[in-house]
Amino acid sequence: MWKVVSVYCAVLAGIRAAPADISFAPINEFALQLLENTYAFQENFDKKNIAISPLSVWSIFSLLAEGSAGETFLELMKGLRLPRDLRTTQAMHRAVNGQLKSSKEDVFLKQQSAMFTDCSLEVHPDFCEAATTYSTEIYSVDPSNTTKLANDINLYVCLATEGLITNAVTPDLLQDLRMILVDALYFKASWTYQFDPSQTKETSFYNIQGKNIGSVNMMYQKAPHNIAFPDQIEAQVLEMTYGKNGQYSMMILLPFNGVPIKRVLKNLASQSMDWISELRDSGSGTDVDCFIPRFKLSTRQDLMTPLQYSGIVSIFDSKKAQLPGVSDSPLYVSKTIQNVEIEVTEEGTTAASSTVVGLENRILGQRFEANREFVFLIMERSSNVILFAGVYGEPSLV
Ligand SMILES: *[C@@H]1O[C@H](CO)[C@@H](O)[C@H](O)[C@H]1NC(C)=O
């Protein structure tokens, strides 16, 4: 389960060398909270592998915060840990964009964002300007042709992720949307100390009870890495760097024996991040015997519920969302679809994500689409006597 944490950390480590006057700590607080909430949500479906790209979510929703008002604004400020004035947020954005770029041969990182809007939607100039400040490209489209729109978005994401994500959205996900915000992140890096493929061996993988639940291709190396055992996190932490200059790294957090992954996630979300500087100060330079499985994750999920767990609620509510600064049409966010692809090998890591946030009109005609399990009752109307009743849950073509 520690796999999860690594995705986040690839990004985290990249933003450590920040300009002195801007703190990125709020973004990481948001990220760790979202990770905890995403795990809690996915647990309901018995999903054990999760991967998120929290920075993209933070970027898109902090842009929307600029166009929000009332409760929607207050929830976004609190949930995203935004500073009180928007200028500081914009400065944070620019600093992140400036920081998160690398086109070296051994570390390649890029982030791209775009806004696709209904050409008949009057987007406020201030909002367009804010989007431009955040280096968001603006495209005017006809959203009623969802097939074409899906193709346009998928092409954008495919190019932005060097072909790693080819199918970010399907036309059915874009029904009724009037504005779509897209953020794509691509990362490819070689380990500072690469693993020797001839040392990789198939070994068992266990659950918390120590039960063998399958096998992995376990890679091995002995190399100088930072390692620490922060009690407040209740996990053993290893940091493996990328590239010659080690500006990026992956952290792997392995819970202490018997500690559930959930508790480690809770610790990460609730404790200060001092454990990182402790790790770097005390753990450096020792040769460590490292066994890390080769792995690949591919996920697509709607992050709406995890964001609601984080206190961002009314923006998703068709009755309550307040986004007057975006356009005069009353909009709300109906989708937050994130795809993540990550592969860890002997050589290094490739990871990509696409985040697609869709906004719908709040005042649409009522919609009723019985496209999932439903109950039916046949009744006489003056007496309300039920004549037939049933459930339809297994589709067939009759
Ligand atoms: C949607 O766009 C595609 C590609 O441009 C086009 O071939 C198709 O006819 C359009 N569909 C509708 C319903 O307009």
Low-confidence ranges of the chain (pLDDT < 50): 1-19, 365
Which domains does the chain show, CATH number per domain?
A: 1-366 (3.30.497.10)
Per-residue confidence (pLDDT) for residue 5, from 0 to 100: 33
Burial group, residue 35, by CB count within 10 angstroms (0-12, 13-18, 19+): buried
The pTM of this model reads: 0.83
Per-residue confidence (pLDDT) for residue 152, from 0 to 100: 96
Does residue 346 sit in helix, strand or coil?
A: coil
Would you say 314 and 320 are in contact if contact means Cβ atoms under 8 Å apart?
yes
Would you say 335 and 303 are in contact if contact means Cβ atoms under 8 Å apart?
no
Q: To test the ligand 1 pocket, which listed residue (145, 146, 155, 174) has its Cβ within 8 A of the most ligand atoms?
A: 145
Per-residue confidence (pLDDT) for residue 12, from 0 to 100: 39
Q: To test the ligand 1 pocket, which listed residue (141, 144, 146, 148) has its Cβ within 8 A of the most ligand atoms?
A: 148
Determine the distance separating the centroid of ligand 1 and the alpha carbon of 175, expressed in angstroms.
Answer: 15
Nearest atom within ligand 1 for CA of residue 145: 1
Would you say 371 and 393 are in contact if contact means Cβ atoms under 8 Å apart?
no
Among protein residues, the one with the nearest Cα to ligand 1's atom 14 is 145
Would you say 259 and 234 are in contact if contact means Cβ atoms under 8 Å apart?
yes
Per-residue confidence (pLDDT) for residue 365, from 0 to 100: 46
Per-residue confidence (pLDDT) for residue 388, from 0 to 100: 66
Determine the distance separating the centroid of ligand 1 and the alpha carbon of 172, expressed in angstroms.
Answer: 15
